Homo-oligomer: A and B are copies of this chain.
Amino acid sequence: MSAAVLCTGSEITRGEITDTNSSWLASRLTAIGFEVTAVEAVDDERGRIVSALGRLGEAHDVLVCTGGLGPTTDDLTAECAALAAGLALVRDPGSIEAMRDRFRRLGRTMVASNVKQADLPSGARILPNPIGTAPGFSVRVGRALAFFLPGVPVEMTRMFDDHVEPEIRAIAPATTFQVRLRTFGKPESTVGEMLRGIEQAHPGVTVGYRASFPEIEVKLLGRGRSSVEARERAERAAEDARRRLGAAMFGEGETTLVQAVASALRARGLWLAVAESCTGGLLAHLLTSAPASDYLAAAFVTYSNEAKTRLLGVPPELIVEHGAVSEPVARAMASGAAAATGAEVAVAITGIAGPTGGTPEKPVGLVHWAVKHPGGVAARHRVFALDRRRVQRIAAFAALDLVRTSL
């Protein structure tokens, strides 16, 4: 069964606001079991709203629309819904009464323009709005059961939970199950090669990829005649995929690379120190996106050679001999950060993030990283042919991944 989302409002089509209602609704409809195939926004223009409603109503089983229920002249949704459904627009006395009550409670007077908010398609089911003025409604448009909700996110989500979800859950097919595997270190094309043929080997399973730089997430969506069958199919394919991905996979579902590293450190009671040059604090920032005070000792951003020497004790002659971007300096930064903080594990990054500063021997994008851990020191390097922001991001992830695989 398919579903669509339609948001009305010129503020969205002009890009004046980022519409968060759409992805919230799409995510909820998907989780309930619908296949959401269209998410659209249309400007405040009668003809275009009516035509979008008609088209989406013909093609879907469920349609959720937000916005355009307010009191001003550019709020056209109820009128357009009536046109698309072939119904008259009639004033609903119950909604007028509810509005009058609400204004009385707020100590305000209802103005004439509010009355328009009670003009709804004849025969529509009214969806009361407990925290705002505009009522919502549901009505059949084409083959779709269509729901019309206010655009204000807090009202929209509350009314979806109260009125829409219970009604559509009763008609939803419970036949999909998704497993998400998270990888780092291989480009999307290589991950695709590693999983080549998995759809053929596991009928009823669709493989999707999502690149959320620098991670590649693999999504295995199982479909079946029952939710048990869908789940079994997805799980079997996931088992196969885990084996193929090996160490490229660092976690599943909502697990981030930072969480994988944090868990490994916590499980062994180890403290981590961080020394960053070209990543400029990004690695520390990623680690502290969640509470980290039980494993993160301290972090240093030592951008200049002087800071590397002064704060981390990197010998100046090492920098002169090998350059600041070199394996010996990365190793010395890691050792220095461990010594300065007393941490058992230390990770260091030094590189040329660009856009300038490269040489023929050491091009922009060259990054060295090293991890000092209880068993020794590991060091790696790569040239990342990316812009500054992405060199920093992939370098921070690569260093984190070396902490993970070193433990």
Complex CA gap A288/B391 in Å reads: 12
Chain B residues closer than 8 Å to A296, beta-carbon distance: 280, 301, 303
**B310 close to A341 (CB less than 8 A):** yes
Contact: B114 with A189, CB < 8 Å? yes
Determine how close the nearest CB of chain B comes to the CB of A172; give it in whole angstroms: 15
Contacts of A212 in B (CB 8 A): 17
Which of A26-34, A88-96, A225-233, A399-407 contacts its partner? Answer: A26-34
Chain B residues, CB < 8 A from A274 = 281, 301
Report chain B residues within 8 Å CB of A356.
291
Stretch at the interface among A7-15, A162-170, A372-380: A7-15
**Are A38 and B48 in touch, CB under 8 angstroms?**
yes
Whether B301 and A70, one on each chain, are in contact in the complex, defined by CB atoms closer than 8 angstroms, is no
A26-70 contacts to B (CB < 8 Å): 26-30, 35-45, 48, 52, 70
Which A residues have a C-beta under 8 Å from some C-beta of B? 10-20, 22-30, 35-45, 48, 52, 70-74, 102, 105-108, 111-114, 131, 133, 152, 154, 187-190, 192-193, 199, 207-213, 219, 274, 276, 279-285, 287-293, 296-304, 307, 310-311, 340-341, 353, 355-357, 383-390, 392
Assess whether B23 is in contact with A17, with CB atoms less than 8 Å apart: yes
Find chain B residues with CB under 8 A from A107 CB. 383
A201 to chain B, nearest CB (A): 14
Other than A113-B192, A311-B311, give 8 A-B pairs with Cβ distance below 8 A: A13-B26, A15-B22, A15-B36, A37-B43, A280-B287, A281-B281, A284-B301, A298-B301
Contact of A190 among B12, B111, B219, B386 (CB under 8 A): B111
Of the candidates A74, A284, A385, the one having the most CB atoms from chain B within 10 angstroms of its own CB is A284
Copies in the complex: 2
Contacts of A211 in B (CB 8 A): 70, 152
CA distance A45 to B353 in the complex (A): 39
In-complex Cβ contact of A40 among B39, B106, B387 (8 A):
B39
Return chain B residues, CB-CB under 8 Å to A387: 131, 154
Contacts known (A42-B38, A131-B386); A28 close to B48, Cβ less than 8 A: no
- Report Cα–Cα, A38/B356, bound state, in Å: 40
Contact call B14/A18, Cβ cutoff below 8 A: no
With A281-B288, A290-B388, A387-B154 as contacts: A36 and B13 at CB distance below 8 Å: yes
Which listed residue, B74, B209, B301, B386, touches A72 by the CB 8 Å rule? B209
B102–A209 CB distance below 8 A: no
In the assembled complex, the Cα of A283 lies from the Cα of B291 at a distance in Å of 17
Q: Determine how close the nearest CB of chain B comes to the CB of A130; give it in whole angstroms.
A: 9
Bound together, the chains give a CA A281 to CA B373 distance in angstroms of 22
Q: Flag if B15 contacts A28 (CB, 8 Å).
A: yes
Give min CB distance, A30 to chain B, whole Å: 4
Chain B residues within 8 Å of A131, by CB: 386-387, 390
Please state if A10 and B208 are interface contacts (CB–CB under 8 Å): yes
* Residues of chain B within 8 A of A36, CB atoms compared: 13-15, 43
Once the chains are docked, how many angstroms separate the CA of A105 from the CA of B279?
22
Contact B304 A293 (CB under 8 A): yes
Complex: how many Å from CA A355 to CA B209? 32
Q: Is the CB of A40 within 8 A of B40?
A: yes
